Amino acid sequence: MKKICLIHTGGTFGMMPAEPTHVLAPADIRNLITGYLPEIEKIAQVDFEVAFNLDSANIQPHHWQLLGNIIQKNYSNYDGFVIIHGTDAMVYTACALSFMLQGLNKPVILTGSQRPLALIRSDARSNLINSIELATHDIPEVAIFFGTYLFRGNRAVKISSTSYEAFASPNYPELAEVGLDILLSDYILSGGDKLIFHDRFKNSVFSFRFFPGLNPDFLDFIIHSSLEAVVVEALGVGNLAILENSIIPWIESMTKAGKIVVICSQSAYGYIDLELYECGRKISDAGGIPAADMTPTAAIVKLMYLLGTYPQQPDEIRNNFLKPIAGEISEKIN
């Protein structure tokens, strides 16, 4: 029988309606799971670890490090890892783990639920059982299972705050579909030979969404701050204003100051192409880096990882930003 390490980090999954206020409060996850889901022992030998118990909005990079360390320490003892996590910040943790656990050769699956396990009609039950089952398969990726599908974690986006199909990966096919059978796709990465663990993140990253009327004067503070990299969510294939309220002088100043400006898209599907329009070409000439088909989340976390790995080396960050680490970017469109 396969051995799975089940790591709890918090979120709605384990919460209980606390009388008399009905405010959701953390519950004893181990008792909760064995009480509600005794059948998991039929799928695998499951050991429990409680990393922390937080609403995922409170998760910080040091929590990613803690989680990565638990996996690294227990790596050779288990066939796979399942992480119970709040849905809100799940994609950020998934991106971080995918960059931390390079050369992975076993599954690390994050899951959670929209409704607590202890409530009727909860999605927690099927999400956890399917995740444990998937973690017994040969899926050497950091992935998210939710609803019906398994997604590459660093390609996923949370698309619904209420639906039981809360995630999607617009720019990459699902890794598996769970119905009557478990159907694994051909898009799963091959496993690495040896785990190489990286746990340095630097949070000197900022992000904003461009909109018509955005006054670039409000962005000047970034040039004079200790921020080192900015992810701009641009329009379509990567367009920003170049006439009235032009963003170009700001990108030029950022580049001159040795700071990184990455261009992502507000569109969920497709990729950045800074050669297609004059707006894009000017961004590129000013030093903007196209994020290809990376999600804005993956771009932010990748910059945090690169800033931690190559401190004070903007050229190294520029050179490495478009190189895939864990399938977060499609090679053919770089």
Active-site residues: which are they? 12
Using rule CB under 6 A, residue 111 touches ligand ASP: no
Q: Which of 14, 26, 61, 86 binds ligand ASP (CB under 6 A)?
A: 86
At closest approach, how far in Å is the CB of 146 from ligand ASP? 10
Per the listing, tokens 């992935």 go with 143
Minimum Å distance from CB 53 to ligand ASP?
A: 10
Q: Cβ 119 to ligand ASP, closest distance in Å?
A: 13
Between 89 and 234, CB nearer to ligand ASP = 89
Measured CA to CA, the distance from residue 330 to residue 293 in angstroms comes to 7
Asked if 12 interacts with ligand ASP (CB under 6 A), we say yes
Q: How far is the CB of 33 from ligand ASP (least distance, A)?
A: 15
To ligand ASP, the closest distance from the beta carbon of 89 in angstroms equals 6
Nearer to ligand ASP, 124 or 251 (CB): 124
Residue with smaller CB distance to ligand ASP, 58 or 225: 58
CB closer to ligand ASP, 7 vs 286: 7
Q: Which is nearer to ligand ASP, 117 or 188 (CB)?
A: 117
Are residues 314 and 320 in contact, defined by beta-carbon separation less than 8 angstroms? no
| Cα-based torsion angle of the residue sequence 115, 117, 120, 122 in order, rounded to the nearest 10 degrees | 50
Among 87, 98, 169, 255, binds ligand ASP (CB under 6 A): 87
Is residue 112 a contact residue for ligand ASP (CB under 6 A)? yes
| Residue 88 lies near ligand ASP (rule: CB under 6 A) | yes
Question: Minimal distance in Å, beta carbon 165 to ligand ASP?
Answer: 13
When the beta carbons of 87 and 98 are compared against ligand ASP, the nearer one is 87
For the chain, give the longest Cα–Cα distance: 65
Number of residues this chain uses to bind ligand ASP (CB under 6 A): 12
158 contacts ligand ASP (rule: CB under 6 A) = no
Of 11, 61, 140, 296, which lies in the binding site for ligand ASP, with binding defined by CB under 6 A?
11
Tell me which residues in 53-82 interact with ligand ASP (CB under 6 A).
55-57
Note the residues at the interface with ligand ASP (CB under 6 A): 10-12, 55-57, 86-89, 112, 114
